[in-house]
């Protein structure tokens, strides 16, 4: 385990994958970090700046749905960081989709999406401003709308 200087709790996410090699490549590109631990059936990423531990577990046939978990996300402080992550993912063979300056979840965002090899959706976003009153009268800008956050 990497040393941590923080007394804060850290979040752990465990993801089942049938393609450990491809999943390793996805998370290496997403986090711009090497794994903290690699075993034949397990890979752990622990990028200290995120406060997040991601474990990849080799399973023959993982579920392709994440159950009640809708998605995971990374909020970027700068547009350049978001652009770098998208370039790394694309260079590693993982498509991203989305656009800049969208209104979703009551905020104006640059919002992009990437899907790991097990079907886990990652929202990669930069927040510009809170949107108290949506521009449109429809619920399409609310988080619960079918077209938002997906």
Does residue 132 fall inside a structural domain?
yes
- Coil, strand or helix: which one is 65? coil
- Residues 27-48 have a mean pLDDT of 94
- Per-residue pLDDT, averaged over 42-66, amounts to 81
Total tally of structural domains belonging to the chain: 1
Does any domain span residue 35?
A: yes
118 belongs to a structural domain:
yes
pTM for this one? 0.75
Q: Which domain holds residue 113?
A: 11-61+71-141
Residue 111 inside a domain? The answer is yes
In a domain, 4, yes or no: no
- Does residue 146 lie in a domain region? no
149 is a domain residue: no
Asked if 20 contacts 27 with a C-beta cutoff of 8 angstroms, the reply is no
Whichever domain contains 126, its CATH number is 3.10.180.10
pLDDT at 38 over 50: yes
In a domain, 122, yes or no: yes
Q: What is the predicted pLDDT for the residue at 5?
A: 52
Q: How far apart are CA 122 and CA 114, in angstroms?
A: 5
User: What pLDDT, on a 0 to 100 scale, did the predictor assign at position 108?
Assistant: 87
Q: In the prediction, which pLDDT does 87 show?
A: 97
The per-residue pLDDT of the chain, averaged, comes to 81
More confident: 100 or 48: 100
For 112-144, what is each residue's pLDDT tens digit? 999 999 889 999 998 887 766 656 554 444 443
What is the model's pLDDT at position 64?
Answer: 58
């Amino acid at each position: 385990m990497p040393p941590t200087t923080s007394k804060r709790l850290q979040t752990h996410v465990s993801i089942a994958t049938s393609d450990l090699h491809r999943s390793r490549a996805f998370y290496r590109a997403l986090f711009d970090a090497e794994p903290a631990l690699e075993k034949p059936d397990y890979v752990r990423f622990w990028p200290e700046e995120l406060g997040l531990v991601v474990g990849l577990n080799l399973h023959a046939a993982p579920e392709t749905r994440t159950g009640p978990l809708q998605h995971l996300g990374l909020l970027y402080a700068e547009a350049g960081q978001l652009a770098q992550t998208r370039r790394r993912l694309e260079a590693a063979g993982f498509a991203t989709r989305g656009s800049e300056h969208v209104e979703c979840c009551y905020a104006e965002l640059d919002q992009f999406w990437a899907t790991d090899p097990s079907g886990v959706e990652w929202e990669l976003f930069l927040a510009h401003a809170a949107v108290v009153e949506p521009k449109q009268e429809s619920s399409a800008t609310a988080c619960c709308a079918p077209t938002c956050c997906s």
